[in-house]
């Protein structure tokens, strides 16, 4: 089963290497932007917010996998290929953190593009992004909980077969990604519309 943290390069390239490549590219872009635009450079601010968004996503991903790995160890041991050796929960949490970081970075990047250049790190400049990220995280957790509860009907009667718990966790993860994706696209669309109509007073989470 493919993991979001595998990225475009696939599981053959470690997450550390992929993160290093991303960091090298990001630093190069920031340096070029600084050299070309000087004080008008915005890339370093945007990439800093991107890292914070990734960390926020990592926290959510780690939390979800900490819970779901206790429900269905098989989902992570076999479905995610982490193996059944001792320390499975820790490996599951780390996997969730990596996948969450990638998802958080993608969502933050989408919101940054929709919001336009980030000219300051003062609260009034980043409040919209921060509020939108919080909303995306809330939707992710809410839809994960809804999918969990809807699937729980099939496993609550004993005996709860490992296969049913596997499916339960799979639906929970799918709900988390679906909620985040839907909310992120909706907010990005609203933020882009607000940029196109600067006279219109609105907030990202209307």
Q: What is the structure's pLDDT at 205?
A: 43
Question: Is residue 5 a part of any domain in this protein?
Answer: no
Question: Is residue 188 a part of any domain in this protein?
Answer: yes
Residue 169 is part of which domain span? 13-196
Whether the model clears a pTM of 0.85, i.e. scores above it, the answer is no
Interval 123-154: pLDDT, tens: 777 888 999 999 999 999 999 999 998 887 76
Q: Is the dihedral of CA 69, 73, 76, 79 positive or negative?
A: negative
| pLDDT range class, residue 95, cuts 50, 70, 90 | very high
Query: Residue 38: which residues within 8 A CB-CB, separation 6 or more?
Result: none
Question: Is residue 119 a part of any domain in this protein?
Answer: yes
Contact 169, 75 (CB under 8 A): yes
The number of distinct structural domains making up the chain is: 1
Question: Is residue 201 a part of any domain in this protein?
Answer: no
Give the DSSP H or E segment for 190: helix 162-196
Q: How far apart are CA 89 and CA 174, in angstroms?
A: 20
Interval 35-78: pLDDT, tens: 877 777 777 888 889 999 999 999 999 999 999 999 999 999 99
Question: Is residue 7 a part of any domain in this protein?
Answer: no
Contact 75, 68 (CB under 8 A): yes
Cis peptide, bond prior to residue 48, ω within 30 of zero: no
């Amino acid at each position: 089963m493919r993991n979001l943290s595998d990225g475009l390069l696939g599981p053959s390239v470690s997450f550390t290497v992929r993160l290093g490549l991303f960091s090298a590219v990001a630093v190069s872009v920031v340096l070029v932007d600084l050299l070309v635009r000087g004080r008008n450079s915005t890339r370093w601010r945007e990439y800093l917010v991107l890292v914070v968004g990734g960390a926020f996503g990592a926290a959510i991903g780690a939390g979800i996998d900490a819970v779901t790995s206790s429900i269905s160890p098989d989902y992570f041991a076999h479905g995610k290929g982490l193996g059944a050796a001792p320390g499975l929960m820790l490996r599951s949490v780390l996997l969730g953190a990596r996948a969450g970081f990638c998802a958080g970075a993608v969502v933050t990047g989408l919101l940054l593009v929709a919001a336009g250049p980030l000219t300051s790190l003062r609260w009034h400049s980043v409040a919209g992004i921060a509020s939108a990220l919080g909303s995306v995280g809330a939707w992710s957790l809410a839809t994960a909980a809804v999918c969990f509860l809807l699937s729980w009907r099939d496993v609550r009667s004993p005996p709860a077969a490992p296969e049913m718990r596997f499916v339960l966790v799979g639906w929970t993860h799918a709900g988390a990604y679906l909620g985040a994706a839907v909310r992120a696209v909706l907010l990005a669309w609203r933020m882009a519309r607000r940029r196109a109509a600067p006279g219109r007073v609105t907030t990202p989470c209307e």
